Structure 1
Amino acid sequence: MKKLLLLPLLALLVSCNTQEKETTAIQKIAEANGFEYWANVEELRYTFNVKVNDSLRTSRAWTWNPTTNKVSLTTQDSTVTYNHKTEAAANQKIDQQFINDQYWLLFPFHLVWDEMEWEYSEEATAPISGQKLQRITVQYPGEAGYTPGDAYEVYFGEDHMIQEWVYLSGGSRENPFATTWENYENHKGIPIAKTHKNKDGSFELFFTEVSVED
């Protein structure tokens, strides 16, 4: 009888241990990226740029005040300011751009901010470098946000800094999109990966004019 009871107990211990590793990995990624300093941020400025085959396709300059939820978008044509919390619906197109752009900038924090499911792997092969790294696979609920069901495979080293990720639109593996996380620059204790490239370098997403005020 004792042997029969032992098997469920072992299964429970293994499950708890796995869950603890997943949660610890997510927390450590956020912490390694300066999450403790986020509460001090009064204003964040950055320009989101996308270059395809050496042609600049997108450039958007943002100013975000996290404490007041005030967001300003500046393009070549105009500047629009709105409250991200109370006026998102009235500015949906711009708000979608804001969410997308700051997601690339601050994804490590979204691991603890957002509701998502995750799975941890102690070792996996990174798609671009071929290195053996740790991996967290995260997926959003089917009804969450502007792009429900999206999933990401996140590859990171022992320092818990992200080196590569794979975007899976709607959670589908039909068209995985992998990019690097590189060119980290520290801003008031928050390291930001300023450059993201695909494997052949034909796509580059990069940030310029990044500043953090506390």
Structure 2
Amino acid sequence: MKKIVLFCLFPILFTNCNQKNSEENRSITEKIAYANGFENFEDVEEIRYTFNVRTNDTLRTSRAWSWRPQEDMVTLTTPDSTVTYNHKSEASAHQQTDQGFINDKYWLLFPFNLVWDEMDYQHEEESTAAISGENLQKITISYPNEGGYTPGDSYEVYFGDDHIIREWVYMSGGDSARAFATTWEDYKNFNGLNIATMHRSEDGNFELFFTDVAVE
């Protein structure tokens, strides 16, 4: 019996060793993605969420989305209308809606875009965060100057040793003079996806937040 038990342990130890080596070999962008549940995304059938923007205590934007990633079907619901289209094959026919979808989904699932997107990045193990002044790790990512709805954008992303994002700075077109910093906070777990549901500017006059989030 002892021989059987020991024999059965070897595959388990070997599997754990391979898993550890795999985690150690991940790039810094992959580590951020996996810290937020990237490995669970392939099982997602539908994500529902409402994207909200509040400035100076006034709700400026509220868009309710449903995305079925395995089918690439997107539905936008507003007080005035409902639009459903295939993001892969019909985006050009719904360009304005699709721009909103890409923007809102980017805020929701940005850590996964670090794996999905084509970008350049630089990693600093110690840096001073833009809002809190904390000593955090930082990656600076830059998008190509061609392609997509907002080519040339860049971001400074601040995160802890747990690879969870705390703040970022967005620079439209890579222009530091147009930098805009927000927090990443109020993380909640939705069926294995770790999502920051609130983003605030340093002065608190801008809030971008998600409500009615559901992952199936």
- Which position in structure 2 is the counterpart of 1:97? 100
- Which position in structure 1 is the counterpart of 2:158? 155
Q: In structure 2, what residue type is equivalent to 1:54?
A: D
Check if 1:167 corresponds to 2:170. yes
- Which position in structure 1 is the counterpart of 2:132? 129
Whole-angstrom distance in 1 between the partners of 2:92 and 2:83: 14
Backbone CA RMSD of aligned residues: 1.2
**Residue from 133, 143, 148 that aligns with 1:145:** 148
Which secondary structure does the structure 2 equivalent of 1:204 belong to? strand
Check if 1:75 corresponds to 2:85. no
- Which position in structure 2 is the counterpart of 1:176? 179
**Residue from 153, 161, 185 that aligns with 2:188:** 185
Which secondary structure does the structure 1 equivalent of 2:43 belong to? coil
- Which position in structure 1 is the counterpart of 2:4? none
Residues 32 and 159 in structure 1, CA contact (< 8 A), matched pair in contact too:
yes
Whole-angstrom distance in 2 between the partners of 1:201 and 1:73: 28
Which secondary structure does the structure 1 equivalent of 2:210 belong to? strand
Whole-angstrom distance in 1 between the partners of 2:27 and 2:136: 16
Q: Deviation of residue 110 (structure 1)?
A: 0.3
Residues 121 and 136 in structure 1, CA contact (< 8 A), matched pair in contact too:
yes
- Which position in structure 1 is the counterpart of 2:114? 111
Residue ranges of structure 1 left out of the alignment (5+ in a row): 1-20
Q: Within 5 A, what are the aligned runs for 1:47-86?
A: 47-86=50-89
Q: Deviation of residue 175 (structure 1)?
A: 1.7
Whole-angstrom distance in 1 between the partners of 2:64 and 2:25: 35
Task: Note closer, same or farther for the CA distance 1:146–1:22 as it changes in structure 2 (3 Å cut).
Answer: farther
- Regions of 4+ moved over 6 Å: none
Q: Deviation of residue 25 (structure 1)?
A: 1.2
Check if 1:26 corresponds to 2:29. yes
Q: Deviation of residue 173 (structure 1)?
A: 0.4
Q: In structure 2, what residue type is equivalent to 1:89?
A: S
Q: TM-score, normalised by structure 1?
A: 0.89
Whole-angstrom distance in 2 between the partners of 1:161 and 1:182: 10
Which secondary structure does the structure 2 equivalent of 1:62 belong to? strand
Residue ranges of structure 2 left out of the alignment (5+ in a row): 1-23
Whole-angstrom distance in 1 between the partners of 2:45 and 2:167: 29
Aligned length: 193
Whole-angstrom distance in 2 between the partners of 1:73 and 1:51: 19
Q: Identity of aligned pairs, percent?
A: 64
Residues 73 and 81 in structure 1, CA contact (< 8 A), matched pair in contact too:
yes
Task: Note closer, same or farther for the CA distance 1:176–1:23 as it changes in structure 2 (3 Å cut).
Answer: farther
Residues 22 and 118 in structure 1, CA contact (< 8 A), matched pair in contact too:
no
